[in-house]
Structure 1
Amino acid sequence: MAIIKIPYSRGFVDLKVPDQNLKGILESKAHHFKTDDPEATIVRKALDKPIASPPLRDLAVGKKKVVIITSDHTRPVPSSITLPIVLKEIREGNPEADITILIATGFHRPTTEAEMLNKFGEELVKNERFINHNCFDESTLVKVGILPSGGELWLNRMAMEADLLISEGFIEPHFFAGFSGGRKSVLPGVAGRTTVLANHCSQFIYHEKSRTGVLEGNPIHKDMLYAAEAANLAFILNVVIDANKKIISAYAGNRELAHKEGCEFVTGLASVEPVPADIVVTSNGGYPLDQNIYQTVKGMTAAEATAKEDAVIIIASACNDGHGGEAFYQTFLDHKTAQDVMDTIMKIPMEKTIPDQWESQILARLLIKHKVILVTDQCDSKMVTDMHMLHAYTLEEAMKMAFEIKGKDASVTVIPDGVSVIVKQ
C-alpha cells in the first residue's frame, strides 16, 4: 500500500493507494530542488543582477510617486520576505520616495486587514501604505487604450500616475495564462472589470493555446503583455517557490525578459510526462490556493491532462472560504448539466462576458468529460453538489467512491500538487 502526502489547507493529508493500482506519481522537481542560499539572499542576488534593466535603486532616483503592485491573499507570494527587500532597495536610491503598495486583487474581493497581517506581517502593514485595487470602482480607473483582442483597457489610476511602477509576484504554471507572474500583475491584477471580462472571454478560454505552460500564441498572454507595456511596468521581482512555499529562485528586471527566464526555469522543473489513468488524485497545493472552489479548478486541470476518457478526478481542497465567486456558483445552480453551462457560455460574445464565466467554462469542460469528487471537511457539501460535483469528507471516502465507479482494478495516477506541474500534451 502506497501512502502519499497530499497538501491540504495548512498541512497534509495521507492518500492510500493499493500498489497494484498505482500507475504513477507526477511531481514538480521544484519540490525537491535544493539551494544553499537563504530565501532573502536569493532575492537580493536577483536584485543585484537584474535582467535587461538597471538596478531598482537606480530606477528609483528622482522618482516621486512609486507604486509596488503585490499579490493578494489568494497567492502564496512570500511578501513578508520580498517586500522589505524591495522597499529597502527603493529607499537606498531615493530616501524621499512616496511609496504605495497596491494589492492586485484582479476580480477577487478585497484583502482584509487580518489577511494583510497574515501575508505581509504587522510591521509592514503598520508602517507602509497598502491600497486594495477595486476593479468595480470606475472612479479609481482610467482608460488607457484598446487591447490586441479589441477589448477596452482600463487600469488602476494610481498605477498609471506612478513615476515608477514595480511589481512583485511568483511564477507557477497557470491553467489558461500559461504562467503566473510578470505581466499578470497588471492584467488582471490592477485592471478594470471591463478589461478582465474581455481578456477572459469564452473564445480565448476555448483557444487551444490557452493552456498550462503555453505562452507562444496564447491570446490571453498577448493581451497581458500589452497591458503591462501600456502601464509602463518598469521592473519586476518574481520568485519561484517549492511545496513548502519557500523561495528557491528569483528573477528581477525587465517585465518581459526576466519573466521569460523565470518561466523557462519553472518549465524545466514542472514538466512531467502524462500517465493516463482511470482515477487521478490531486490537490490545489494547500493554503492559500485551496481556500475556495473557484481557485480549485486550477488543480483539476492538471488531473484532466493525464486522465483517461471518462476518468474520475479526485481533488483535495479545503475550500473554507466557500465557492469564491457568486456568479460562478450561480451559473451551475441555474443549469441542469455541465453541457448546458458550456452551451450557454459559448454563445456569449466578448463584449458581454459575465463575471467568473471563465472559471465556469473550464469546470464545465472538466465535468462534461469526468466525474469530479471534491474532498473537503471545511465547506458545505450542498455547495459542492450544487456545482455538479461529488463530495467526500476524506480521501479514503473519495477513493472508495471512485473504485465503486471505475471498478476495483482501476488504475490510479497521483499529482500531489496540481498547480505545480505542467503535464506535457
Structure 2
Amino acid sequence: MSTLTLSYGRGHLPIRLPAGAQATVVRKQPLPKLTDPQAAIARALAQPIGAPGLAELARGRRSACILICDITRPVPNRLFLRPMVETMIASGIPLDRISILVATGLHRPNLGEELAELVGDPWVLEHVRVDNHDARDDSAHVDFGRTATRGTPVKIDRQFVEADLRIATGLVEPHFMAGWSGGRKVIAPGVAHHETIRTFHSARFMEDP
C-alpha cells in the first residue's frame, strides 16, 4: 500500500492507496515569486491595468468602502489594505469615512481572532472600521428592483452602495462548477441580500446561467 500526502486546511491529509493502484498527481505550474511584494502593490495601485490609479480615483471623494473576501478565500489582505487606506487618506478622504466590509455572502461573520487573521494588519484593525456583511438584514440593503430577464431581485449592502468610492478586492481562480470564481462575485453574492443570493446561486441558475 502506498500513501500520497495532500495539502489540506493548514496541514496535510494522508491518502492510502491499495496495492497495485496507479495514481496520477496533477500539480499546478510553478509561478515566479515577487521579489518585492510591497513595491509591486505600490505599482499596481499607482498604475493599474486599464484604469486610473487609486489616488486619482479617490481624489474629491467623501467616503470609501473596500470589500474583502471572507476567511474562506486565501487573499493576502495584510499586504495591500494599509497602502490602499493610506493612499485614500492622502487623496483627501477622511480616515473615519473609510470602511472595510467583509463579503461573507451567506457565510457566517468573521470575528475576533479570525477577523484579525483575515485583515492581517493590526494598524488597519485599530484605525479603520471593519464590518461583516449581513445578508439577512433587510434594512442594510438597497433594493434596485428586479432584472428584466428573469426577475432576479437585486439588493446590495447599503454600506457599499452609499460609499462615494467603492473598491472590490479579492482573487480570481478556477471554480469547480462555475468556470471562474472571484472578481465581481465579491459584490454578488459577497454583499448581496439573501434573496438575491438564493436566486442566482440556485441549482437552476447553475444549470442554465
- Normalized against structure 2, the TM-score is what? 0.88
Alignment of 1:299-338 (within 5 A): none
Judged with a 3 Å threshold, the aligned counterparts in structure 2 of structure 1 residues 3 and 94 are, in CA distance, closer, same or farther, namely farther
Match of 1:57 in 2: 55
Q: What is the aligned counterpart of 1:39 among 37, 40, 54?
A: 37
Q: Which is higher, the Rg of structure 1 or of structure 2?
A: 1
Unaligned runs of 5+ in 1: 208-218, 220-425
Q: Equivalent pairs: percent with the same residue?
A: 33
Match of 2:115 in 1: 116
Shift of 1:176: 3.2
Match of 2:79 in 1: 81
Q: Does 1:25 align with 2:25?
A: yes
Matched position secondary structure for 1:170: coil
Judged with a 3 Å threshold, the aligned counterparts in structure 2 of structure 1 residues 50 and 103 are, in CA distance, closer, same or farther, namely same
Q: Does 1:205 align with 2:206?
A: yes
Match of 1:264 in 2: none
Match of 1:10 in 2: 10
Alignment of 1:16-415 (within 5 A): 16-17=16-17, 20-29=20-29, 32-94=30-92, 96=94, 98-121=97-120, 122-147=122-147, 148-207=149-208, 219=209
Are the equivalent residues in 1 in contact too, given 2:61–2:93 (CA < 8 A)?
A: no
Are the equivalent residues in 1 in contact too, given 2:63–2:94 (CA < 8 A)?
A: no
Are the equivalent residues in 2 in contact too, given 1:57–1:94 (CA < 8 A)?
A: no
Are the equivalent residues in 2 in contact too, given 1:72–1:105 (CA < 8 A)?
A: yes
Are the equivalent residues in 2 in contact too, given 1:2–1:18 (CA < 8 A)?
A: yes
Are the equivalent residues in 2 in contact too, given 1:173–1:180 (CA < 8 A)?
A: yes
Are the equivalent residues in 2 in contact too, given 1:149–1:199 (CA < 8 A)?
A: no
Matched position secondary structure for 1:28: coil
Judged with a 3 Å threshold, the aligned counterparts in structure 2 of structure 1 residues 198 and 37 are, in CA distance, closer, same or farther, namely same
Shift of 1:64: 0.7
Deviations 1:264-290 (A, max 9, x none): xxxxxxxxxxxxxxxxxxxxxxxxxxx
Shift of 1:39: 2.8
Are the equivalent residues in 2 in contact too, given 1:57–1:91 (CA < 8 A)?
A: no
Are the equivalent residues in 2 in contact too, given 1:101–1:129 (CA < 8 A)?
A: yes
Shift of 1:82: 1.9
Structure having the higher helix fraction is 1
Deviations 1:239-259 (A, max 9, x none): xxxxxxxxxxxxxxxxxxxxx
Distance, in Å, in 1 between the alignment partners of 2:154 and 2:109 is 21
Q: Which amino acid aligns with 2:158?
A: R
- Normalized against structure 1, the TM-score is what? 0.45
How many residue pairs match? The answer is 206
Distance, in Å, in 2 between the alignment partners of 1:80 and 1:24 is 36
Distance, in Å, in 1 between the alignment partners of 2:19 and 2:48 is 48
Are the equivalent residues in 1 in contact too, given 2:152–2:200 (CA < 8 A)?
A: yes
Matched position secondary structure for 2:167: strand
Judged with a 3 Å threshold, the aligned counterparts in structure 2 of structure 1 residues 91 and 112 are, in CA distance, closer, same or farther, namely same
Judged with a 3 Å threshold, the aligned counterparts in structure 2 of structure 1 residues 177 and 44 are, in CA distance, closer, same or farther, namely farther
Unaligned runs of 5+ in 2: none
Shift of 1:167: 1.1
